[in-house]
Each structure stands twice: as structure tokens, then as C-alpha cells.
Amino acid sequence: MAGSTAAKLGVIAGGGELPRRLVEICRARGRDVFVLALEGEAAPETVMGVSHAWCRMGAAAQGLKLLRDNGVGDLVIAGGVRRPSLITMRPDWRAAKFFAKVGYRMLGDDGLLSALAKELEAEGFHLIGAHELLDERASVPEGPLGRLKPSDDAMVDIARGIGIARAIGALDIGQAVVVQQGLVLGVEAIEGTDALLRRCAGLRREGPGGVLVKVSKPGQETRIDRPTIGPRTVRLVAEAGLQGIAVEAGSTLLLGRDEVIRAADAAGVFITGVHVT
Amino acid sequence: MAGSTAAKLGVIAGGGELPRRLVEICRARGRDVFVLALEGEAAPETVMGVSHAWCRMGAAAQGLKLLRDNGVGDLVIAGGVRRPSLITMRPDWRAAKFFAKVGYRMLGDDGLLSALAKELEAEGFHLIGAHELLDERASVPEGPLGRLKPSDDAMVDIARGIGIARAIGALDIGQAVVVQQGLVLGVEAIEGTDALLRRCAGLRREGPGGVLVKVSKPGQETRIDRPTIGPRTVRLVAEAGLQGIAVEAGSTLLLGRDEVIRAADAAGVFITGVHVT
């Protein structure tokens, strides 16, 4: 018998490099994989040389059929998705039924993802988190990752940042905040962490640079939307003149660990895992 | 006896048009006024033809002396200030003493303003709010101001926006939020409402436009930093593709009422005062 004994893995793929990393992991382990690539979100590289189909986000009936027809058992949702309005999404009957049940408009991202997770399980799929497939090198332990440690003033900003990030997370607004010398330079909403960092480059004050703090939302659906950092995060943090990055230890996905640490050390940026209660 | 019986008014002037409006009001009422214009913040027009001195923000001893030497009794702080880092501010001994007492770094804007208000009163000035000088045309009542009313879907976004704006206000982050179809497009931090609106122009989803919601922070020092809207707010809201503006009734400063209403009606934008508990 070729391949693994694990059920065939389905990957519902949004943007970024995470979905492709999951594909590579399956290949390395000889596990069958099928990618349902979301139109306008997944990168073409994600599906290269692997069994896949493209599907628009609103075409739920077609998507479910594709997953079933391709024998998917375990299912992972990975990568970024720019949440569209209902009109842009053009929901089919199956998606419309789901949205009518959960109330699209009044749900934040996290509420919607939790509802989606429940719905997919009710359809018979076994939903797993990307972190269950990645090895321990994709997780962030407590303490500094690279050569640099946060300064004392950065620690003060990190403490304030954690409080604020948890609060905006509890409101299901976003996961990230930038704090410099006690000032909140920016709060992440729908624009995402990259755009937050780009605008904070123009808002920084003189003196010691600020910090990016990124934590999971309280009560977040941890199988789908974990805080994630990668090489691009490090580059944008350096370009914004920040001193470093503090992420929640244990729950953050770290993509490209070696590259991230190398880039952070080269740019003089710290990355530290913090325990969040 | 020429002029009024009221004590001479001092205006500590930041950016925007509010300080000049206060000067005009004093003139119309024959009240003596002295403007302490903050360097880098107050517009040159603010001090035209009126008794004034320029002062940098960190020069507290000089500023207090100027106010005293010019016989100021009542004092109003008006206009926007981009809060600098301590280093940029170059505090003199008097400012440094104040910051050492209140702890600059750990205070949000509102905490700092409350402390500043107390300090100025301890120095013998009678601090008043700009709203006490403006007439009732500068306040926003409950309900629509212009021709247009919020649609039912806008009302849903307003409700969510109020909850979020109050929460970020309680954290002393900002006063404003933009919500479209239940999605939080952006949250105001140190960049201010204008910059928030400019970036939300690029984040809007298809379908009915969103709303700008702006409310006072819970426990805010209401004499200094009331939520304020004016003609520019209306223009930026229209350019961002939003349906309208909801502000806290009673506590918002409305600058240029006639112009604001005319611009809103012309752009098809609603402005409504909402009761916030």
C-alpha cells in the first residue's frame, strides 16, 4: 500500500504561502492531498502539480461536492481570505442557506469562522488545524527567537499592546496592534497586519521604535485563523522602524522559521513569544 | 466699560479651525482673548490680528508665564494636537515635573488630558470647554441633521459601530470606527479620523456603503477633547464611499453647521446624532 494510512487531506486554500507548505508536508509524508483553491485568493503556485480544483467563495454546493468527489476526509482551511461583502460573494443556494442560518452581517470574522467550522463538521468532514500538520518548528515558544531581546521600554509597550490586542480581539476586530512609547500607533481591522505595518511607518514618533503585538482572539476558532508571522512580517516591521515583534507563544504559526530568524537578526529586529493569559 | 465682564479668555490653540472660531466668538461678544498658539499645530490664520504668542508644546514654564503675564483667567484648550514622543517634545523643567508626576508613557491621550486639566486648575486657571463658548448650533441633537436619514442597514452598522467605538474609547485608543455591512473596515488610533477615512476608501466592499461612527470616550475629559466633525469630515466620508456619519448626540462639536449640512445633502451623505448610553 502506497502513501499513508491517514485519510486524504483536503486543503481549502486562501492566500499566502501556508497552503502550499501544507501541500509540501503531505507530499513529504506520502499523504494524499486535494486542494480546493479559492478564486482570487489562492496563489497559482499553491496548486502546481497537485490534485486540485478552483472554486469561488460563494459556490458552497460546488465546493462541498468537489471535496466529496475527491474523497476528502480530513479538512484544513489555510491562508488568508479578504472577507467580501455578501454581494461580492454571490452565494449559491447552499452558501445562502448557511448565511441565513448564522446571520452574515452581525458576525465578525471569528464568529463566521466558528460557524463555518461547525457547518463543515456537520457535513461529515473532520476539520483539523494547520498547526496539527506543521512540525514544532512552526510554533513560537516563550522568549526571544533570534539574537535580539526586547529592551525594557519595549517590554512596557508589549504589555500595553497585549492588553489592547486582546480587547480588540474580544470584539472580533483584529489580532494586531502597534504601540510605541505607550502610544497606540495603529489597530488592525479588516486591512490586515501588512497594511497596518505599512501605515505605521508614517506614524512613528522620534525616539525608541515601537513594537508589533499579535495575539489570538479570545475564544478564537483556533483551527482556522491563528495569528501568523513570516518573512514578510519581519521586513515590514523593520521598514516601519519598529524594534520588534511580540507574538503569543504556543498559538502563533511561524512560517519559514530559519528565514524569519535570519531576516530579524540581519535587520536588528527582535521576535519574542509572550505568554498571554 | 468696553467689552464684557467675563474674565479674559486664554485659548491654547492646536490645529484645525476650532481655535479661530473661539477667537471670532470672543470678538463678536467683545471679550478679551489671548491665544497661546502651539508651534507646529496651530494654523497661522488662528492668531491673525489677535493678541497671541507662539510656544512649543514642551515649554510649559514659558507657556504658563505667558498666560499669567497676559492676564488670562478662563482657559480653553482647543484644536487637534499630534501627540509627540517625549523626545520630540523636549520638555522643560516644568513639563518634565508634570510628566514625572503623571507618568507620560503609561497614559493614553485621555489620561494625559485629564491630568493636564487638573494641573492647569492647580495653577489657578479656570478651565472651560469649547462647547461652553460655542452656541447651540455647534451641538448635535438626536436624529438626522440634514435631508437624509440612515437606511435600515446603516442603522445596524451604527449599532455595531457604537459598541466598538465605546470599547476602543474605554481603552483610550480613539473615538472613531468605520463599519460596512457588519465588517469593521477600520479603527481610529493615533492617525486621527481624517486618515482613518482616507484609508477606508481603499477597503470598502461592494454593496451598500458603510458608516463613520464617532463618540466620546467613556470618562473622557469633556472640556478638552470632544468628538468633532466639520466640513472636511463630510467630504472625506463621501470620498470613502460611506453612507453617512453617526455622532454622539449632545457631546459632539459640530463646526460650520450650515456648510456641513449643505455639503452632506449635496453629497448624499446622512449625518445623525445618536444617543449613547
pLDDT at A5: 59
Contact B191 A199 (CB under 8 A): yes
Q: How does strand B183-187 pair with strand B176-180? A: antiparallel
A133: nearest Cα among A253, A266, A50: A253
Residue B2 pLDDT level (bands cut at 50, 70, 90):
very low
C-alpha cell at A252: 502563533
| pLDDT one-digit tens code per residue, A123-170 | 999 999 998 999 888 899 999 999 999 999 999 999 999 999 999 998
Backbone phi and psi for residue B182, each to the nearest 5 degrees, phi listed first: 85, -10
For the residues B172-178, what does the mean pLDDT come to? 93
Q: In the beta sheet, which residues pair with residue A55?
A: A38
- Is pLDDT of A1 > 80? no
pLDDT at A225: 78
Residue B34 pLDDT level (bands cut at 50, 70, 90):
very high
One-letter amino acid at B130 equals: A
For the residues B38-56, what does the mean pLDDT come to? 93
Beta strand segments in A120-173, E: 126-128, 143-144
Strand, helix or coil at A75? Answer: strand
Of A106, A153, A173, the CB nearest to B164: A173
- Is pLDDT of A69 > 50? yes
Could you tell me if B3 and B30 are in contact, meaning their C-beta atoms sit under 8 angstroms apart? yes
How far apart are the C-alpha atoms of A184 and A196, rounded to whole Å? 12
Smallest CA–CA distance, residue B85 to chain A, in Å, is 6
| pLDDT one-digit tens code per residue, B66-115 | 999 999 999 999 987 777 777 778 889 998 888 888 876 656 666 777 88
C-alpha cell at B134: 460655542
The position carrying cell 457535513 is A123
How far apart are the C-alpha atoms of A140 and A182, rounded to whole Å? 25
Residues of chain A with Cβ-Cβ distance to B91 below 8 Å are none
Contact B182 A107 (CB under 8 A): yes
- Is pLDDT of A3 > 60? no
Sign of CA dihedral A124, A128, A130, A132: negative
- Is pLDDT of A64 > 90? yes
Could you tell me if B173 and A184 are in contact, meaning their C-beta atoms sit under 8 angstroms apart? yes
| pLDDT one-digit tens code per residue, A200-225 | 999 988 889 999 999 998 877 778 87
Helical (H) or strand (E) element with A177 = strand A176-180
Of A105, A160, A186, the CB nearest to B181: A105
Residue A4 pLDDT level (bands cut at 50, 70, 90):
very low
For the residues A74-93, what does the mean pLDDT come to? 83
Contact A190 B185 (CB under 8 A): yes
pLDDT at A77: 92
Residues of chain B with Cβ-Cβ distance to A88 below 8 Å are 205-207
- Is pLDDT of A176 > 50? yes
Smallest CA–CA distance, residue A128 to chain B, in Å, is 26
pLDDT at B107: 63
In terms of pLDDT, which residue wins out, B226 or A75?
A75
Interface test with A, best of B152, B157, B184, B204 (most A CBs within 10 A): B184
Share of chain B above pLDDT 70, in %: 96
Contact A182 B104 (CB under 8 A): yes
B5 Cα distance to chain centroid: 28
pLDDT at B3: 43
Of B173, B174, B186, the CB nearest to A191: B186
Share of chain A above pLDDT 70, in %: 96
Helical (H) or strand (E) element with B138 = none
pLDDT at B4: 45
Using an 8 Å CB-CB cutoff, list residues of chain A that contact chain B.
Answer: 83-88, 104-108, 153, 156, 160, 163-164, 167-168, 171, 173-174, 180-187, 189-191, 195, 199, 203, 205-207
pLDDT at A75: 95
B247: nearest Cα among B222, B219, B213: B213
Backbone phi and psi for residue B217, each to the nearest 5 degrees, phi listed first: -75, 140
Residues of chain B with Cβ-Cβ distance to A113 below 8 Å are none
Contact B107 A182 (CB under 8 A): yes
Those residues whose C-beta lies under 8 Å from the C-beta of residue B169, and which sit 6 or more positions away, are B175, B215, B216, B217, B218, B220
Helical (H) or strand (E) element with B228 = strand B228-229
How far apart are the C-alpha atoms of A105 and B183, rounded to whole Å? 8
Residue of B nearest to A172 (CA): B184
Tell me the longest C-alpha to C-alpha distance in chain B.
Answer: 63
Of A171, A186, A195, the CB nearest to B191: A186
| pLDDT one-digit tens code per residue, A227-271 | 899 999 999 999 999 999 999 999 899 988 999 999 999 999 999
A156 Cα distance to chain centroid: 26
Contact B163 A171 (CB under 8 A): yes
- Is pLDDT of A97 > 60? yes
Q: In the beta sheet, which residues pair with residue A34?
A: A10
Of A83, A164, A185, the CB nearest to B171: A164
For the residues A100-123, what does the mean pLDDT come to? 78
Smallest CA–CA distance, residue A113 to chain B, in Å, is 14
Share of chain A above pLDDT 90, in %: 63
DSSP labels, B171-220:
TTS-SEEEEETTEEEEE-STTHHHHHHHHHTTTPPSSS--EEEE-PPTT-
In terms of pLDDT, which residue wins out, B80 or A58?
A58
Contact A173 B187 (CB under 8 A): yes
Interface test with B, best of A156, A162, A171 (most B CBs within 10 A): A171
Least confident span in A2-11, A169-178, A235-244: A2-11
The position carrying cell 493678541 is B51
Mean per-residue pLDDT of chain A = 90
Smallest CA–CA distance, residue B89 to chain A, in Å, is 10
Smallest CA–CA distance, residue B208 to chain A, in Å, is 9
Interface test with A, best of B173, B187, B194, B196 (most A CBs within 10 A): B187
DSSP state of B221: -
Residues of chain B with Cβ-Cβ distance to A155 below 8 Å are none
Residue of B nearest to A181 (CA): B105
